[in-house]
Amino acid sequence: MAAPSSSALTLTLPSDREIMMTRVFDAPRRLVFEAHSTCEHVKHWWGPRGFTLVSCTMDFRPGGAWRYVQRKANGTEYAFRGEFREIVPPERIVWTFEFEGMPGDVAVETMTFVEQDGKTILTTRSLASSREARDAVLRSGMEQGAAETWDRLAEYVATMKA
C-alpha cells in the first residue's frame, strides 16, 4: 500500500478526551493563518463539500466570539460557536468550539501553524469535555467533514498565493 500523501489528514486520539488532526498545506503559514482570521476568508472554505457558509460572525481577538452557520444542499443548517482565547499570529489560535446541535459540549481547540520549507503543518488538538462527548463527535462523521473542509482550505490558500 502506498504511503498517504503529505496533504492527507491524519487523525489521532492522544487521550480519552482528545482528537488531534494534522495536515500539510502547500502554502506559507502566514496565508494558512490569515485564512482563519476573517469571515471574508472563512466563507470560501469552511465546511465539507456540498455545504455553504450562510452566516459568519467573528471578532478575531482574545475574548472575541465567533459563530458559523453552514447549510447543506438540502437546506439543513448546522451552527457552531465559540470564543477566541488566544491568538498568536501566525503561530497559534486557541478557541472554544461548540456544535449548537449538542449544546453544552464545549471543546477547547488549539490550532498550531508550523512552517517548514514553505509549507505549513497545521495541527488542531481538540480537548472535549468528556470521553463521551469526544466519542459523539467522532461518530458524527467529523473526520470526513474535517478532511473535506481542509481540502477546501488547501484549494483556497492556493488562490491566495496566486
Strands 77-88 and 65-72: antiparallel
* pLDDT of res. 6: 57
Domain boundaries, the chain: 10-161
Q: Whole-structure pTM over 0.85, yes or no?
A: yes
Name the CATH superfamily housing domain 10-161: START domain (3.30.530.20)
* pLDDT of res. 7: 72
Q: Are 89 and 112 in contact (CB under 8 A)?
A: no
Q: What is the pLDDT along the chain (162 residues), one digit of tens a residue?
A: 333 345 799 999 999 999 999 999 999 999 999 999 999 999 999 999 999 999 999 999 999 999 999 999 999 999 999 999 999 999 999 999 999 988 889 999 999 999 999 999 999 999 999 999 999 999 989 999 999 999 999 999 999 988
